[in-house]
A and B are shown apart, each in its own frame.
Chain A
Amino acid sequence: MNIIFSALALVAITALIGFGYKSGGGKSLGLVPEVIELEKLLGVEASASGSRIILFTAEFCSKCPNLRRNLQSENIDFAEVDITDRLDLAAKLQINQTPTILILDSAGKIERKLTGSIKVSQIREFDGEELLDAKN
């Protein structure tokens, strides 16, 4: 009886984490209350593109390439930052997992922070078309 119970408990814990992970995807997290100085933090490339969507990826992130492909296929302009070796940036922006997306307003202040299984539709929801296709 104990054997069955412990095995079921293990399955239940796994299912709980798994469903929590699935349903929590793309959630909006606490914002960092400061203006992001793109040029200083991310380098010239990000600010040169004029992008207000920043995608943070890391070396061991298997979800990141898929999100990058989806953003590109939807013609959404974004700047990508690999924070594998930028732990200072991860600490400063309170980024604990990847992919994480920051949506900035025109002043560079963070409007939204999304993380986990982010869907492109969630990015579109936040600020309408003006945020998107910044290059066009």
Chain B
Amino acid sequence: MQRIDPRAPRLGAAITSLLAMIGFVLTQLNQAVGLAILSLLTALFAWSLMSAKTHPYALLFRLIRPRLAKPEFLEDPRPPRFAQQVGLSVSVLGLLISVVDPLIGTLFGLGLVFIASALNAYFDFCLGCVIYLRIKRLQRALVQ
């Protein structure tokens, strides 16, 4: 398993949070633009899960990295990948809700994507630490 620079996913989260906030504001002016941004974010989440190395954020980080100091340590890629899965789930849910109510669905998806990505980017919030076990325990409780 190839370890990654921990600053790469945080840069991606910062860009995602910016896009989500722009989308959240624009949705209230023009729903179609907001829906397009939510669709774009959904595609970006899916892209990072399918081919993280060719993802636009990864390419951008590769341009920036030579200007940065060497990271103190490299990170396991699984936690940020889990965060991408959560992002994809939330944005897909937003798109599904938007089939019934475009305004609510788009605001829901973009709002939650903003909260999760901003927490990750600016507070170093570990989504995998906080929700993974809760989801798994809930799944286990529902099965039993």
Contact = CB atoms under 8 A, between A and B. Distances in A.
B137 A17 contact: no
Interface stretch (A28-36, A45-53, A93-101): A93-101
A10 interface: yes
Nearest to A9: B111
A48 B24 CA distance: 55
Interface in A24-73: 58-66, 69
Contact of A58 (B107, B125, B128): B128
Contact of A61 (B6, B25, B81, B128): B128
Given A7-B21, A87-B136, A62 B28 contact: no
Contacts of B130: 21, 97
Contacts, number: 98
Contact of B119 (A3, A6, A21, A97): A21
Nearest to A116: B129
A130 B129 CA distance: 30
B119 A17 contact: yes
Contact of B133 (A2, A3, A58): A58
B101 interface: no
A69 B29 CA distance: 49
Given A7-B21, A18-B119, A59 B133 contact: no
A97 B129 contact: yes
A61 B78 CA distance: 8
B123 A63 contact: no
Contact of A17 (B73, B115, B128, B140): B115
Interface in B68-101: 73, 75-76, 78-82
Interface in A84-117: 87, 90-91, 95-99, 116
Contacts of A124: none
B15 to A, nearest CB: 16
9 contacts: A3-B29, A10-B24, A10-B111, A10-B114, A59-B82, A61-B128, A87-B140, A98-B132, A99-B129
Given A10-B114, A61-B132, A63-B129, 5 more contacts: A60-B127, A61-B128, A87-B137, A96-B133, A97-B134
The 7 A-B residue pairs whose C-beta atoms are closest, nearest first, are A60-B128, A18-B123, A62-B79, A60-B82, A3-B28, A60-B132, A62-B126
